[in-house]
Amino acid sequence: MFSFLKNNNQFIALDIGSQKISGASFIIKNGSPLIIKMDHQKSKGIRRSKLNNIEDLSSIINLVCKNVSSKSGKKELFCNITDPNIITKKNTTKINSGKLGVTKKEIRKIYRKNLTESNIKGKHLIYSSPHDFILDDDNLISNPLGKKCSKLGLISYNLFVENHYINELGSLFKKNKVEIKNFFDSGVASSYSCLDNNEKKEGVLCIDIGAETTKIVVYSDNKIIFCKNLGLAGDNVTSDVSHGLQISIEAAEHAKIMYGSVVAPFNEKVEIEIDSKRRKLISKNLLYGIIKPRYEEILEIIRDRIFDDINARLNIKSVVLTGGASKIFGIKNISENIFNRKAKVGKNLIGDIFSQDKPEFSTLMGIIKLANDFFMYNQIPNKSSSKVSVIMDKIDNWIEESYA
Ligand SMILES: Nc1ncnc2c1ncn2[C@@H]1O[C@H](COP(=O)(O)OP(=O)(O)OP(=O)(O)O)[C@@H](O)[C@H]1O
Ligand SMILES: [Mg+2]
C-alpha cells in the first residue's frame, strides 16, 4: 500500500536553529517514525533567522547530514522555517451544494478551492488546516458529510512565511544536491512533538523558547487558533548576564546554564569561569536578579499578545514550555504565576529516553512527526514542485481517512 516504504530512500529531518543545527535520519515502520541516528552542531551563517553566510551554513548542514546518514541512497529532507513575522490568515470559501446532502466530492472541491484562494503575494503557505464548515451561511459544523444545504462554506486557518526563506534554503539544498521534500513551521513542529491529544482538545499554549526566537502556538478543540513568533529568547538572557556581570558572552552562557534560576536560590557564592585562566566569585542571588526579570519580560509579552485575542485567552487551560531556554531552573513556577494556568516543561512524545527529556530537540522531533504524517497522507510521494498540489494530495488522502 505505501509505496515509499519499499524504496531505500533515507529521510532526514533538520532543525536549523540559531544556536544549533540538529538532524536525524529516520525510517517509517508500521506507520510510525523510527530514528536511526541523531547529531547536532553549533550553528554558523544564520543570525536572526537571516542566512548571512551561505557557505558557513551549508558546511554545517552538510556535516550534520553526513553524520546522520548512511553513505549510499538518495536523501529526502524535511526542514523547518522560523519567520519572526509569520502571518496567520483565515480564509472562507463557498460553493453551491447539491440538494441530496454533502458528498466527499464536494468536500474535496471546496478544499481545493480554499487552498488555491489562500494566497498572499510574496508569502509561502506553510500550514493550512480546515477549521469549520458552514451550512447555508449560518450553521458551523466540523463534519458536513451527508448534511443537506444549498450553500457549503469552509473556513481554513493558514500560516504564511516570507518566500525568501524558502527560496534561499531551497537553493542552498539544491547546490548540495539534496532533495527538500517539505518545509514545516518551527513552532508548529515543536507543538507536534510535545503536546498530547488531550491537551490539544482542552486548549493549550505551547511556547518554544530557543536562542533568538520564541515560538508561540495555541490549540483548542484540536485546532491551531493562534500562532506568533517573538524575536526575544534565551540569548537575550545571556546578553543581560554578560552586561550585568561584565563578562564575555561565552562566560555568561556558562554561568546561566550552570547556576541560573528564575526562583530565588540560596544565597550561596559560586565561582564562574571568566576565561581559561581567570575565575570570579559571584552570588547566585545576583545571577537570579539578572535572569528573572528578562524571563518575566518574555513571558509577560507572550501573555499580553495572547490575551489580546479573546478566543485564545478563553481557551487556554494549560501551558507547555519547550526549547533550550525552557531548561532554566524554576520556569514552571514563574509561568504558572504569569499565565495563571498550570504549566510544565514538555517532553517529546517520540524519540528515545535521551531525546524525550531534551526540550531543545522538540522542533527536530516535531519535524519527524510531521514528516511521518506527510507520508501517511501522501501515500504516493508527489514529484511535482507545486506547493499547492503537494497539499492537495495530502487533503485528498485526509478526506479518505476522515470521511471513509
Ligand atoms: N540549562 C539551561 N538553562 C537555561 N538556558 C539554557 C539551558 N540550556 C540551553 N539554554 C538556552 O537555550 C537556548 C538555545 O535553545 P535551542 O537549542 O532551543 O535554540 P535554537 O533552536 O538553536 O534557536 P532558535 O529556535 O531560536 O532558532 C540558548 O539561549 C541557551 O542559552
Ligand atoms: Mg529552535
Say if ligand 1 is within 6 A of residue 172 CB. Answer: no
Task: Kindly report, residue by residue over 1-38, the tens digit of the pLDDT.
Answer: 344 444 456 799 999 999 999 999 998 888 889 999 99
Long-range contacts of 255-259 (CB under 8 A, 24+ apart): 255/282, 255/287, 256/287, 256/291, 256/328, 257/327, 259/284, 259/287
Give the Cα separation of 319 and 199 in Å (integer): 9
**What is the CATH code for 196-348?**
3.30.420.40
Take atom 20 of ligand 1 and give the residue whose Cα is closest: 17
Pairing of strands 75-81, 10-16: parallel
Domain with CATH 3.30.1490.110 in the chain: 87-162
Joined grid coordinates for residue 112: 481545493
Backbone angles phi, psi at 68, to 5 degrees: -100, -15
Say if ligand 1 is within 6 A of residue 327 CB. Answer: yes
Q: What is the mean pLDDT of the chain?
A: 89
Listed in order, strand segments (DSSP E) in 197-347 are: 204-209, 214-220, 223-230, 269-273, 279-283, 318-322, 342-345
Sign of the four-CA dihedral 383, 384, 390, 393: negative
Domain with CATH 3.30.420.40 in the chain: 11-84+163-185+361-374, 196-348
State the pLDDT confidence band at 398, using cuts at 50, 70 and 90.
low
For residue 210, how far is its CA from the centre of ligand 1 (angstroms)?
Answer: 5
Q: Taking the CA atoms of the chain, what radius of gyration do you get in angstroms? A: 23
State the pLDDT confidence band at 378, using cuts at 50, 70 and 90.
low
Domain 87-162: CATH architecture, name and number where available: 2-Layer Sandwich (3.30)
Give the Cα separation of 25 and 70 in Å (integer): 9
Task: Kindly report, residue by residue over 120-134, the tens digit of the pLDDT.
Answer: 999 999 999 889 999
Say if ligand 1 is within 6 A of residue 22 CB. Answer: no
User: What does the pLDDT average to over 161-183?
Assistant: 88
Say if ligand 1 is within 6 A of residue 82 CB. Answer: yes
User: What does the pLDDT average to over 211-218?
Assistant: 98
Least confident of 3-7, 194-198, 289-293, 382-386: 382-386
pLDDT at 208: 98
Take atom 31 of ligand 1 and give the residue whose Cα is closest: 234
**What is the CATH code for 11-84+163-185+361-374?**
3.30.420.40
Give the CA distances from residue 346 to residues 68, 91, 194, in Å, rounded to whole numbers and listed in that order.
Answer: 25, 31, 5
pLDDT at 396: 61
User: What does the pLDDT average to over 348-362?
Assistant: 90
pLDDT at 37: 94
User: What does the pLDDT average to over 334-351?
Assistant: 96
Residue type, 260: G
> Which residue among 15, 18, 19, 239 is best mutated to probe the pocket of ligand 1, counting the most ligand atoms within 8 A of its Cβ?
19
> Which residue among 39, 329, 360 is best mutated to probe the pocket of ligand 1, counting the most ligand atoms within 8 A of its Cβ?
360
Say if ligand 1 is within 6 A of residue 253 CB. Answer: yes
User: What does the pLDDT average to over 135-162?
Assistant: 93
Residue 313 confidence (pLDDT) above 80? yes
Give the Cα separation of 49 and 215 in Å (integer): 13
**Nearest-ligand number for the alpha carbon of 213:** 1
Take atom 15 of ligand 1 and give the residue whose Cα is closest: 324
Give the Cα separation of 313 and 305 in Å (integer): 10
CA angle 316-317-318, nearest 5°? Answer: 100
Cβ atoms of 152 and 169 closer than 8 Å: no
User: What does the pLDDT average to over 291-307?
Assistant: 97
State the pLDDT confidence band at 385, using cuts at 50, 70 and 90.
very low
pLDDT at 382: 38
pLDDT at 384: 38
Backbone angles phi, psi at 25, to 5 degrees: -95, 145
Predicted TM-score (pTM) of the model is 0.92
Contacts of 391 (CB under 8 A, 6+ apart): 115, 125, 128
Take atom 11 of ligand 1 and give the residue whose Cα is closest: 325
Backbone angles phi, psi at 56, to 5 degrees: -60, -50
Task: Kindly report, residue by residue over 216-275, the tens digit of the pLDDT.
Answer: 999 999 999 999 999 999 999 999 999 999 999 999 999 999 999 999 988 899 999 888
